[in-house]
């Protein structure tokens, strides 16, 4: 009887709260809106400018094509891997992210006509003695996962006898070379050129190899969208708009014009304070999202954790089984795996999109909820068994005995664990950058993708985290004192 009422309460609450968060389906617009995924760190094809607006060749091209072909686009910078996975899972309609056209991708997706021709170049630290592939023997080389340049590096790895280390975004890969951990990296030519224009201390030492084209990708069945893209691209090339877009980001060819084009999207003051001032709004936006995700996740995780924890102490084998299994599974799964599973795995199973924010909240709710359940259960079990026996011997039913006698004592035991869990939740939100939630960590990545100022920006991000965690700790200590005094 108790199990039933707890279970019902649990499911009702969880489902109800989830649906309040789930965006309501928008009414069918006159023009069809397509959701297009893109990378966050692939300048000059896509990046946030100093006003935190998404710009770049891919973005401008996509918008221009949408305009001439009469449809609407909602461009989501979720990261390259996340975008490709979301496309596979049917979460989004297309991907434009400096994506090389390869036979493998053509098997999986529809790929458009090439809209930009690139080749793979090798770059080394400025002043490095390494000038050719042959000199890489026995050295370490940095590559980015899932890119054609990375694939090229792997294909010549054995021939030239170097080892590789992989990174998730370009900036980290460049940094590995400038710090000297790796001697070289491979990147598509325009991207490498952009980074160097922006001040990355690297030099390109090879001619573009393996020329390929960048293409726009859709699901195999989405021939309608693909046809529109190809048609639109032709029109833009014919009317000169295409050239304008490219020149806007890469100049007319000379280094000078490139640098000038680049400047338009960059901070002018490169000092720590200058960068902080220029990016303050963006960072605060990221912080706001982090706090929002944290607070919502804490609320859900606490509710779920308490309910699952309570199930674990009910005098019912079935209820305890549910509790133990929940704790075992979701405490055991790495947060990253859980996030990707829910965001990209579940939709391909159930056939509906899961918005990143909702996926992030579910991920944290399950993970932090499992930890919460474990200490709620432990806190209750830590109360002397004699307390329950005394309460029951007075005729109090189990539920009343639990509420009036056991929980008030258990909560005192649990308070420090709650505080600890809140802080962990705040930190764990940073992992959600993997599914493209624009929280503080992701914001940092985006800024760095544009300005290549990894050290300074990560310092700012770290300081913000420390300040917030300190405030949260103070607040929690204050709450803790209040609870323990009462």
Taking the least distance from each CB to other proteins, the nearer of 70 and 408 is 408
Least Å distance, CB 480 to other proteins, is: 16
Q: Which of 445, 441, 447, 443 is nearest to 428 (CA)?
A: 441
User: Cis ω on the peptide bond leading into residue 97 (within 30° of 0)?
Assistant: no
Distance CA 43, CA 48 (A): 9
Least Å distance, CB 376 to other proteins, is: 17
Taking the least distance from each CB to other proteins, the nearer of 164 and 316 is 316
Least Å distance, CB 473 to other proteins, is: 26
Distance CA 60, CA 404 (A): 63
Interface with other proteins (CB under 8 A): 384, 386-387, 389-397, 400, 404-405, 408-409, 412
Taking the least distance from each CB to other proteins, the nearer of 269 and 389 is 389
What is the CB neighbour count within 10 angstroms for residue 396? 16
Least Å distance, CB 299 to other proteins, is: 26
Taking the least distance from each CB to other proteins, the nearer of 248 and 412 is 412
Taking the least distance from each CB to other proteins, the nearer of 248 and 392 is 392
Distance CA 171, CA 185 (A): 11
User: How much of the chain is helix, strand and coil, in % rounded to 5?
Assistant: 65, 15, 25
Taking the least distance from each CB to other proteins, the nearer of 159 and 481 is 481
Least Å distance, CB 312 to other proteins, is: 21
Q: Is 389 exposed, middle or buried (0-12, 13-18, 19+ CB in 10 A)?
A: exposed
What is the CB neighbour count within 10 angstroms for residue 253? 9
Least Å distance, CB 273 to other proteins, is: 53
Rounded to 5°, angle at Cα 195 from 189 and 197: 100
Rounded to 5°, angle at Cα 318 from 315 and 323: 85
**C-alpha count within 13 angstroms, C-beta hemisphere, residue 36:** 28
Least Å distance, CB 414 to other proteins, is: 14
Taking the least distance from each CB to other proteins, the nearer of 139 and 387 is 387
Kind plus residue range of the DSSP H or E element containing 135 = none
Instruction: Write down the number of H helices and E strands in the chain.
Output: 20, 12
Taking the least distance from each CB to other proteins, the nearer of 227 and 413 is 413
Least Å distance, CB 412 to other proteins, is: 8
Least Å distance, CB 406 to other proteins, is: 10
What is the CB neighbour count within 10 angstroms for residue 474? 10
Q: Phi and psi (nearest 5°) for 336?
A: -65, -45
Taking the least distance from each CB to other proteins, the nearer of 105 and 392 is 392
């Amino acid at each position: 009887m108790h199990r039933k009422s707890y279970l019902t309460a649990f499911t009702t609450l969880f489902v109800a709260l989830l649906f309040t968060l789930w965006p309501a389906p928008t009414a069918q617009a006159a023009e069809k809106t397509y959701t297009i995924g893109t990378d966050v760190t692939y300048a000059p094809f896509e990046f946030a400018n100093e006003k935190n607006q998404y710009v770049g060749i891919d973005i401008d091209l996509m918008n221009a094509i949408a305009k001439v072909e009469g449809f609407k686009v909602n461009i989501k910078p979720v990261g390259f891997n996340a975008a490709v996975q979301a496309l596979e899972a049917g979460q989004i309609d297309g991907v434009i992210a400096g994506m090389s056209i390869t036979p493998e991708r053509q098997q999986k997706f529809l790929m458009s006509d090439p809209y930009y021709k690139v080749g793979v170049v090798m770059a080394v630290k400025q002043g490095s003695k390494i000038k050719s592939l042959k000199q890489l023997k026995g050295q370490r080389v940095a590559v980015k996962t899932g890119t054609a340049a990375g694939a090229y590096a792997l294909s010549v790895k054995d021939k030239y006898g170097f080892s590789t280390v992989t990174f998730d975004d370009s900036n980290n890969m460049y940094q590995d070379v400038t710090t000297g951990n790796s001697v070289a990296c491979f990147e598509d030519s325009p991207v490498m050129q952009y980074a160097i224009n922006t001040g990355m201390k690297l030099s390109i030492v090879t001619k573009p190899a393996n020329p390929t084209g960048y293409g726009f990708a859709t699901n195999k069945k989405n021939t309608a969208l693909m046809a529109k893209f190809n048609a639109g691209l032709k029109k833009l090339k014919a009317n000169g708009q295409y050239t304008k877009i490219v020149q806007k980001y890469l100049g007319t060819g000379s280094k000078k014009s490139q640098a000038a084009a680049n400047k338009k999207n960059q901070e002018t003051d490169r000092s720590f304070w200058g960068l902080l001032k220029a990016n303050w709004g963006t960072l605060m936006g990221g912080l706001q999202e982090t706090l929002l995700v944290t607070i919502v996740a804490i609320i859900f995780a606490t509710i779920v954790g308490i309910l699952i924890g309570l199930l674990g102490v009910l005098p019912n084998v079935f209820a305890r089984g549910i509790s133990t299994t929940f704790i075992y599974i979701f405490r055991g799964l790495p947060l990253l795996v859980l996030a990707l599973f829910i965001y990209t795995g579940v939709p391909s199973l159930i056939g509906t999109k899961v918005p990143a924010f909702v996926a992030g909240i579910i991920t944290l709710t399950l993970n932090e909820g499992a930890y919460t359940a474990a200490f709620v259960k432990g806190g209750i079990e830590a109360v002397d068994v004699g307390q329950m026996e005394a309460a029951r011997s007075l005729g109090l039913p189990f539920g009343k005995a639990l509420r009036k006698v056991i929980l008030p004592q258990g909560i005192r035991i649990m308070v420090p664990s709650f505080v600890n869990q809140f802080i962990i939740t705040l930190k764990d939100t940073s992992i959600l950058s993997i599914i493209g939630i624009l929280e503080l960590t992701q914001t940092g990545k985006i800024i760095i993708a544009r300005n290549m100022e990894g050290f300074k920006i990560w310092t700012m991000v770290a300081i913000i985290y420390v300040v917030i965690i300190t405030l949260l700790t103070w607040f929690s200590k204050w709450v803790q004192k209040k609870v323990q005094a009462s």
